[in-house]
Structure formats: C-alpha cells, structure tokens
C-alpha cells in the first residue's frame, strides 16, 4: 500500500514550530532555507524540499512532539468533547479539573479514591461520568441563556 502524500500545510507549520523551538532569528531561518533549498519561503517549496528542511532541523536538534493519539473508545472521546464544551462555557478548564471530576464521580467501595482519569473508566463508570458532565453542561447553558 502506498504511503499517503504528506500534507504541505502541516509540513510548513512544523518548519515554523522548529524555527521557534530552535530560537532562530528571521535572518538565520531564511539563510537555512536558502542553504537547503535555494528558496527563502516555505510557501514556495515542494514537499520534498520541505522534507529536506525538516530533516535539517532534526539534525540541528529539533525533536517534533509526537502526534496526539485519539482514544479508540468513543465514550472517552465523548467525555473529552463534553468537557471541552464545559470549559468553553465556564471560561476555562484543565485536564486536572476533569480528572478531579472523574475521581469524585467514581468513588465507590471498590475505588475509595475514585478512578484517576477518563482513560481508565469501564463502560458503567464511563456512562456515569458522561451523564454527570452532560448535566453540568446543561446547567451552564441554562445560566448562559
């Protein structure tokens, strides 16, 4: 099976992230681009040229962060989606706050301290947390209206 073509936009974004993380000035960044490809702008480059620039950034010590991995469990994805809505409605919300909510919602004799994170929830506990989040979101929407 053939490898999919790289996304030019994502490659350009990675170049700009690498520039910032390596603390390159605009002049040194453009010099590097010119040295590798003969061009001064990533927007003018083909994907093979962008790939060469990214390899040079890696040689200089830039380490791209691994891509965010989506949970294969749709229930957990839904918990995070509802949490994102809540965070927007209440003007902010961190993963630590979500985890604290999950702990409170999952305290049982079997788990006296609660379950640490949404990723560790089984189906029943996940439903309980999800319904709690939906109720919270509904209350926040009611206040906003």
For residue 44, the 8-state DSSP code is G
CA-to-CA distance for 88 and 141, rounded, in angstroms? Answer: 11
Q: Which tens digit of pLDDT belongs to each residue from 66-97?
A: 766 666 788 999 999 999 999 999 888 899 99
What is the widest separation between alpha-carbon atoms in the chain? 67
Q: Is 128 exposed, middle or buried (0-12, 13-18, 19+ CB in 10 A)?
A: middle
Structure tokens at 58: 């890696």
Report for 8-12, 56-60, 92-96, 140-144: range of highest mean pLDDT: 56-60
The pLDDT-based confidence of 5 (bands split at 50, 70, 90) is low
Cα separation of 120 and 37, whole Å? Answer: 47
What is d(CA 66, CA 37) in angstroms, rounded to the nearest whole number? 26
pTM for the whole structure: 0.53
Residues 86-139: tens digit of each pLDDT: 999 988 889 999 999 999 999 989 889 999 899 999 888 899 999 999 999 999
């Amino acid at each position: 099976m053939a490898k999919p073509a790289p996304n030019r936009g994502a490659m350009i974004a990675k170049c700009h992230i690498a520039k910032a993380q390596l603390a390159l000035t605009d002049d040194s960044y453009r010099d590097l681009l010119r040295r590798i490809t003969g061009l001064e702008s990533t927007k003018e480059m083909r994907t093979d040229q962008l790939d060469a620039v990214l390899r040079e950034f890696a040689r200089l010590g830039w380490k791209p962060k691994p891509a965010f991995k989506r949970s294969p469990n749709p229930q957990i994805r839904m918990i995070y989606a509802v949490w994102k809505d809540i965070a927007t409605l209440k003007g902010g919300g961190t993963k630590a706050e979500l985890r604290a909510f999950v702990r409170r919602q999952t305290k049982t004799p079997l788990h006296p301290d609660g379950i640490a994170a949404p990723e560790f929830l089984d189906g029943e506990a996940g439903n309980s947390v999800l319904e709690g989040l939906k109720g919270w979101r509904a209350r926040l929407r009611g206040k906003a209206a």
